[in-house]
Amino acid sequence: MVWIKPNQQMLTKNLCRTLKHDGGGVMVWVCMSVAGVRNLMFYRRNMDRYMYHNILKQNALTSAEKLSFGTTFTYHQDKYPKHTSKICQEWCRYHVKQQLYS
């Protein structure tokens, strides 16, 4: 918290510069549970539904196997448009028994 005298909040000396949308950013995919963390992946590219589909194919089931879940796990994801795309929903329908959305 910063104390500024009345009517001086817009003076240049009292403003903090911010930079938005500078082109940087990292997407993270991870499988985690009480048993641990597996297949922590970082991506710098913009994600599309095909990239997310490839992430699912390459990481979701292998992470579950490494954590000794087999096919008894709940896949949790939000309703981000790439997650709810038809190609990803179709993959989940055939490979994941339980899904949870938030």
In the chain, beta strands by DSSP E:
27-33, 36-43, 74-77, 98-101
Question: Could you give the angle at the alpha carbon of 67 between the alpha carbons of 27 and 54, nearest 5°?
Answer: 40
Q: pTM of the predicted model, to two decimals?
A: 0.66
- Neighbouring C-beta atoms of residue 52, cutoff 10 Å: 22
List, for residues 84-102, the tens digit of each pLDDT value.
Answer: 899 999 998 888 877 777 6
Q: Which two tokens stand for residue 53?
A: 């589909």
List, for residues 38-83, the tens digit of each pLDDT value.
Answer: 888 888 888 889 999 999 899 888 888 888 877 777 888 888 888 8
List, for residues 24-36, the tens digit of each pLDDT value.
Answer: 678 888 888 888 8
For residue 98, CA distances in Å to 29, 84, 91, 94 come to 19, 15, 13, 11
Domain ranges of the chain: 45-101
